[in-house]
Amino acid sequence: MPVSPAPTHVHADLSRRAVVDTGALPWHPSPLAGVERRLLERDGGEVARATSLVRYAAASRFSPHQHGGGEEFLVLDGVFSDEHGDYGPGTYVRNPVGSAHAPFSAAGCTILVKLRQMDPADQTRVVIDTRRSAFVPGLVAGLSVLPLHGFGTEQVALVRWQPGTHFPQHAHPGGEEIFVLDGVFEDEQGAYPAGTWLRNPPGSRHVPCSGSGCLIWVKTGHLGQAISA
């Protein structure tokens, strides 16, 4: 049966809220055998602003390539590799605009990856093994934070919510993006189990909480700049 091409526009309007159960999405083949993608947001073809889950089969590899708009990823399972090193589960990596590599995975892996969404002035390469890094207390009791990166208004972190933690209502002037890694994240609009991707647009407000506890990857302050660019 022929494989349908991957869509070129998925949740491309950054001014709109998006909630995606990634486990319900199809896997689309990439141009390289053994590498597949679940598209969370995309605006363009093979060279595009995109947020995806990318799955490498064992012994698969991607051709050497340059990241014209930068690359940011979090290893969800397995081991992702390139000529610069091996990155196990929980590793957060930022490859700045203009960087290049030849990625592969010997045993297979899944990563959450964002492409072409970096400020060209942000030239700091980041590699953090989050499973070996210390969280610090958050703004409310029951919340702990592992900062991953900050540049301009953009802030990226892992946030751990203990069961029963509530955060007051607040606004996100530059928007917010969340990927639920474990447990169930909640707000007044719903409950979001592990594997859910959310995007709250600039100016949005909510009252987040977690009854059972959760761990989330969260990025704030980056969507307003993208919309005005």
CATH of the domain at 105: 2.60.120.10
Rounded mean pLDDT, 106-135: 96
With CA atoms as reference, report the closest residue to 170 among 144, 195, 203, 193: 203
124 with 162, same domain: the answer is: no
Instruction: Report the pLDDT value the prediction gives residue 124, as an integer from 0 to 100.
Output: 95
pTM of the model: 0.95
31 with 113, same domain: the answer is: yes
Inside any domain, residue 199 = yes
**Encoded tokens for 151:** 């540049």
Half-sphere exposure of 176 (CA within 13 A, CB side): 19
Please name the residue that has the structure tokens 């990857």.
217
Rounded mean pLDDT, 87-110: 95
Of 86, 105, 129, the residue that ends a domain is 129
**Is pLDDT above 50 for 112?**
yes
Domain range holding 58?
9-16+25-129
Percent of the chain with pLDDT over 90: 84
Say if CB 123 and CB 117 are below 8 A apart: no
Of 129, 144, 177, the residue that ends a domain is 129
Task: Give how many domains the chain has, as a whole number.
Answer: 2
184 with 106, same domain: the answer is: no
141 with 209, same domain: the answer is: yes
Instruction: Report the pLDDT value the prediction gives residue 205, as an integer from 0 to 100.
Output: 96
pLDDT tens digits for range 45-90: 777 799 999 999 999 988 888 888 999 999 999 999 999 999 999 9
Determine the Cα–Cα distance for residues 144 and 103; give it in Å rounded to an integer.
32
3-class secondary structure, 126: strand
96 with 152, same domain: the answer is: no
> What residues does 43 pair with on adjacent strands?
9, 49
Q: What is the mean pLDDT of the chain?
A: 93
104 with 157, same domain: the answer is: no
Of 99, 129, 159, the residue that ends a domain is 129
Inside any domain, residue 2 = no
Please name the residue that has the structure tokens 């526009």.
9
Determine the Cα–Cα distance for residues 33 and 37; give it in Å rounded to an integer.
12
Inside any domain, residue 175 = yes
Instruction: Report the pLDDT value the prediction gives residue 78, as an integer from 0 to 100.
Output: 98
Instruction: Report the pLDDT value the prediction gives residue 27, as an integer from 0 to 100.
Output: 96
Inside any domain, residue 43 = yes
| Band of residue 229 on the pLDDT scale cut at 50, 70, 90 | low
Inside any domain, residue 4 = no
